[in-house]
Amino acid sequence: MANYQNIIGSWRWLNSPEWNVAIFSFLLSFFWEIQQMPFYQVPSEFSCFDRTRNCTLATVGDVGISLTAFWVVAVLAKSRQWVRRPSRRQIIIYTFVGVVITVVFEALATGSLNRWAYAEIMPTIPFLGTGLVPFAMWLLMPPLTIWFVQRQLSHVHPKSSEQL
């Protein structure tokens, strides 16, 4: 029986809010990144692998943004467990942090860093110049991510993930 407890205990990290935010953020963002490709200029010589690699790298960046937003709310809430029963204010802050980071990154990437460019069909937000598609992503994905994480962790006792 003790061996069984050790095995279960070694997988406890799967119940951490951060892990769940990262996983659901990755899954949702990767789908979005693939779907928004027509709104970006992509060199014609890019293979399917090149496009997928770029979308994967962008998704990893999205996960970083999502985790940063999670931690901002966790600091304000003084708990990593805020995502279990998020208030409207916490969801708004989580979303707002993602939007702000995205606006800054998009401005840098399409501006001085010249990392990517929008296709002509990309609508942009006046004054910001941010593409509407990535902006919309960060209005929709954070609440969806929180919803999935909340459902995933609803059966897990908070103390089992606090010990990490």
What confidence score (pLDDT) does residue 164 get?
41
Domain residue ranges in the chain:
22-154
What confidence score (pLDDT) does residue 13 get?
79
What confidence score (pLDDT) does residue 36 get?
95
What confidence score (pLDDT) does residue 15 get?
86
Percentage with pLDDT > 90 across the chain:
79
Per-residue pLDDT of 111-133, as tens digits, reads 999 899 999 999 999 999 999 99
CA distances from 43 to 52, 107, 115, 129 (A): 13, 20, 12, 22
- 153 — phi, psi (to 5°)? -90, 0
- pLDDT by residue, tens only, the chain of 164 residues: 555 555 555 677 788 999 999 999 999 999 999 999 999 998 889 999 999 999 999 999 999 999 999 999 999 999 999 999 999 999 999 999 999 999 999 999 999 998 999 999 999 999 999 999 999 999 999 999 999 999 999 887 666 555 44
43-68 as b/e: b if 16+ CB within 10 A:
eeeeeeeebeebbeebbebbbebbbe
What confidence score (pLDDT) does residue 21 get?
98
Average pLDDT, the chain: 90
> Global pTM?
0.87
If 0-12 CB within 10 Å is exposed, 13-18 middle and 19+ buried, where does residue 80 land?
buried
